[in-house]
């Protein structure tokens, strides 16, 4: 896990809200860590390399890796405890998977009850070998969620010093604002990419900008489909992005990250890779701004039509 990285490449930081967590501008997503084949020592080295790039925020969920990723990351923190005070830990809860790790789960479902939220946090803390989370998110909106109950659970966790800030993931604007009225939320983590622009037009981003809340972005590269999808629209979009990247002498993925971060709601994209070189490419997207013409050229290609 060694890589030659530009000496001046360093990720800036952004606050998800005036009183929210101070996250790195690029967040390292840990969803696939179980597939990376790293030893505990290699995981320590990977975390240290991310920190060297200025990527100090790490995104988890209790269910990632069939309930195993937090434990893998926690093994690294146990080997090198000094890392904990140099990073921000994000986790999510609220989904119950059918899994050999959870034999009591008879059906996959959501659970945003106070009891489950608290129990999930306690388990995440044990797995991560830490005494607090910097940010906890409700993973998906639950049809049975009670906003008052969630807010009370969040407040109790904050009072106990176990979670510093709270947010949600995949919530609509109305769902976000309903919970935010009861307890201040720091972010809404949503899917967004040039192949999935819905949050730009369904009031999700407008509502967050209005509240001075920066969204977190999962799948900013459309799960790799920007590189490999063979449908006509994706092919044309890829050619447009490549043309802009070539003209700017920037990597293709850096242009995509720059395009996302240029939105006024200040999106915070996640990576999903164990390759430090790919994380450096994401960080490079924080170093330049696209012209309006280039930005709208990508939007036009993404939507398949002019803006008017």
Exposed, middle or buried, 305 (CB in 10 Å: 0-12/13-18/19+)?
Answer: exposed
Alpha-carbon distance 102 to 98, whole Å? 7
Using DSSP's 3-state secondary structure scheme, residue 167 falls into strand
Contact 189, 169 (CB under 8 A): yes
Alpha-carbon distance 92 to 254, whole Å? 27
Q: Given 58, 64, 67, 257, which residue is catalytic?
A: 64
Q: Cβ–Cβ contacts within 10 Å for residue 4, how many?
A: 7
Q: For residue 102, what is the DSSP state?
A: B
Contact 111, 94 (CB under 8 A): yes
Helix intervals (H) in the chain: 40-53, 64-67, 69-79, 114-128, 147-159, 173-180, 198-201, 204-210, 225-228, 232-248, 252-261, 276-284, 292-303
- Taking CA atoms, 255 is separated from 9, 166, 231, 299, in Å, by 15, 30, 21, 13
Bridge partners of residue 168, in order along the sequence: 138, 188
Is 64 a known active-site residue? Answer: yes
Residues noted as catalytic: 64
């Amino acid at each position: 896990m060694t890589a030659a990285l530009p000496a001046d490449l360093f990720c800036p930081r952004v606050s998800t809200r005036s009183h929210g967590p101070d996250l790195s501008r690029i967040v390292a997503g840990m969803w696939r860590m179980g597939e990376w084949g790293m030893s505990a020592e290699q995981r320590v080295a990977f975390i240290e390399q991310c920190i060297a790039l200025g990527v100090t925020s790490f995104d988890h969920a209790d269910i990632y890796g069939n309930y195993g990723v937090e434990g893998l990351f926690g093994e690294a923190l146990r080997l090198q405890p000094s890392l904990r005070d140099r990073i921000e830990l994000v986790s999510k809860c609220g989904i119950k998977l059918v899994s050999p790790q959870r034999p009591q789960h008879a059906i996959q479902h959501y659970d945003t009850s106070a009891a489950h939220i608290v129990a999930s946090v306690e388990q995440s803390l044990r797995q991560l070998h830490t005494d607090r989370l910097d940010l906890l998110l409700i993973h998906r909106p639950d049809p049975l969620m009670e906003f008052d109950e969630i807010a009370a659970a969040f407040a109790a966790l904050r009072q106990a010093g176990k979670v510093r800030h709270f947010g949600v993931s995949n919530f609509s604007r109305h769902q976000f604002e309903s919970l935010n009225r009861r307890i201040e939320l720091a972010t809404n983590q949503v899917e967004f990419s040039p192949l999935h622009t819905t949050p730009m037009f369904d009031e999700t981003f407008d509502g967050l900008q209005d509240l001075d809340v920066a969204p977190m972005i999962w799948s900013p590269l459309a799960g790799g489909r920007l590189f490999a999808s063979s449908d006509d629209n994706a092919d044309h979009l890829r050619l447009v992005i490549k043309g802009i990247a070539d003209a700017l002498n920037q990597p293709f993925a850096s242009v995509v990250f720059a395009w996302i971060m240029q939105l006024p709601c200040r999106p915070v994209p996640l990576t999903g890779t164990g390759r430090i070189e790919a994380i450096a490419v994401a960080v490079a997207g924080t170093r330049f701004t696209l012209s309006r013409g280039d930005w709208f050229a990508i939007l036009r290609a993404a939507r398949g039509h002019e803006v008017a």
